[in-house]
Amino acid sequence: MPVFQVHVPESRFTSAQKRALAAVLPRALNEALGIPAEDQFVAITSHNPDELYLDAGYMGMNRSGDAVIITVLFTAERPLADKRLLTNAICENVVEALGIRADDVFIALIPVPKENFSFGRGELQLASGN
- Mean of the pLDDT values across residues 80-94? 97
Domain presence at residue 122: no
Per-residue pLDDT, 130: 60
Per-residue pLDDT, 92: 98
Give the CATH number for residue 97.
Answer: 3.30.429.10
Domain presence at residue 48: yes
Domain presence at residue 60: yes
Per-residue pLDDT, 40: 85
Q: What is the pTM of this model?
A: 0.92
Q: Which domain holds residue 54?
A: 3-116
- Mean of the pLDDT values across residues 120-127? 93
- Gap between the Cα atoms of 118 and 104, Å rounded: 32
Q: Is the pLDDT of residue 2 over 70?
A: yes
Q: What's the domain count of the chain?
A: 1
Tell me which residue of 31, 6, 2 sits closest to 106, measured CA to CA. 6
Domain presence at residue 31: yes
Cα distances (Å, whole numbers) of residue 19 to 3, 22, 35, 98 = 16, 5, 20, 10
Domain presence at residue 91: yes
Domain presence at residue 103: yes
- For the chain, state the CA radius of gyration: 15
Q: Where would I find the H helices in the chain?
A: 15-33, 80-98
Domain presence at residue 123: no
Domain presence at residue 127: no
- Long-range contact set of residues 103-106: C-beta below 8 Å, sequence gap at least 24: 103/61, 103/62, 103/63, 103/64, 103/67, 104/63, 104/64, 104/66, 104/67, 104/68, 105/67, 105/68, 105/70, 106/54, 106/67, 106/68, 106/69, 106/70
Give the confidence band of 27 by pLDDT, cuts at 50, 70, 90: very high
DSSP 13: S
pLDDT (tens digit, 9 = 90+) per residue, 105-118? 999 999 999 899 89
Give the confidence band of 1 by pLDDT, cuts at 50, 70, 90: confident
